[in-house]
Structure 1
Amino acid sequence: MSSNQRVGWVRRELGGLAVLGLLMPLVAGAARLGEADVRAVRQVVESRLGAFAAGDAKRAFSYASPSIRARFGDASRFMAMVQGSYPMVVRPTAALFFLAQKDHGTEAANVTVRQAVQLRDRKGRLWKATYLLERQAGNVWRINGCVVVAGNAKSLT
């Protein structure tokens, strides 16, 4: 192996290790969230999206954390805010779920999770919605917020 080949090999190996190093915190965070919690978190977000699509404000509001429920007071106010500020989550034509991630630094008694979902709206635009969920009493997950940003890809795949 020539000197140039060795340098190229070392660069490729170090590059691979660097990428692996960047991904490890994501994988480690996901690993600490049990499979049952991963499924439960996704189910809550899917259920809320289904409630929005059905126009069921009361059911959509039921997935909100106590602090969100207190902030809006009732389902109709909550639904009006979502329809006005986040229309892309009301009736997306497609949704792609990413692996839920446990927030770093959260303690077992107050676990917070991020569930990212790529959505396609009715005009074909892509959005990334990151739902913030909190574990409530009785091991129930509730949504405590959502951050939506415009996507930059052309497809969900």
Structure 2
Amino acid sequence: MRFITLLLGLTLWCAPTYAQDQSIEGVITSQIDAFSAQDVNTAFSYASPSIQQLFGTAEAFGDMVQNGYPMVRNPAELEYVDQITNGSLTLQRLRIQDQLGQDHWFAYEMIQIDGDWRINGVYRIAPIGLSV
């Protein structure tokens, strides 16, 4: 019984540390996983305070993602390409393949809030490495 109590205590003690140390890729993947699980509240928690204020509720945020970025709600594949940092702003560029096999390219604007990475915007970009 003491072992179980000790194990539970260690698990609870370590959990907040993991959240604080979560990488940019981890935050984006966690948000996409939350959308895939239809957990809009958790997905909304990865947005920056300014994004949360802009949409007001998790439901409004979820509706925007459903209407504007449906491939993010249930992607077939994610590929993290590169990160670009300029001062306090970091862009994570990635490719998201939808369930029909079509590629979509995005830049996720990431900022740190109290040591945690948050998503501060998502922008469609031209395919990386391809010229037209």
TM range (shorter): 0.7 to 0.9
Residue type at the aligned position of 1:143: I
| Structure 2 residue aligned with 1:55 | 38
The share of aligned pairs that are identical, in percent, is 34
Query: What stretches of structure 1 of length at least 5 have no aligned partner?
Result: 1-38
Query: Given that residues 125 and 151 in structure 1 are in contact (C-alpha distance below 8 angstroms), is that contact kept between their aligned partners in structure 2?
Result: no
What SS class does the counterpart of residue 50 from structure 2 fall into? helix
Query: Given that residues 126 and 150 in structure 1 are in contact (C-alpha distance below 8 angstroms), is that contact kept between their aligned partners in structure 2?
Result: no
What SS class does the counterpart of residue 23 from structure 2 fall into? helix
Query: Given that residues 89 and 111 in structure 2 are in contact (C-alpha distance below 8 angstroms), is that contact kept between their aligned partners in structure 1?
Result: yes
> TM-score when scaled to structure 2?
0.76
| Structure 1 residue aligned with 2:55 | 72
Question: 1:42-77, CA deviations, whole angstroms, 9 ceiling, x for partnerless residues?
Answer: 111111111111111000000000100000011000
| Structure 2 residue aligned with 1:134 | 111
1:99 Cα deviation after fit: 2.7
In terms of fraction of residues, the more helix-rich structure is 1
| Structure 2 residue aligned with 1:43 | 26
What SS class does the counterpart of residue 98 from structure 1 fall into? strand
Say if 1:63 and 1:152 are closer, same or farther in 2 by CA, change over 3 A: closer
Q: Write the mapping of 1:1-150 to structure 2, written as runs, cut at 5 A.
A: 40-103=23-86, 106=87, 111-137=88-114, 139-149=115-125
In terms of fraction of residues, the more strand-rich structure is 2
1:151 Cα deviation after fit: 4.2
> TM-score when scaled to structure 1?
0.65
Say what the alpha-carbon RMSD is for the aligned residues: 1.9
Alignment partners' CA distance in 2, 1:149 and 1:85: 14
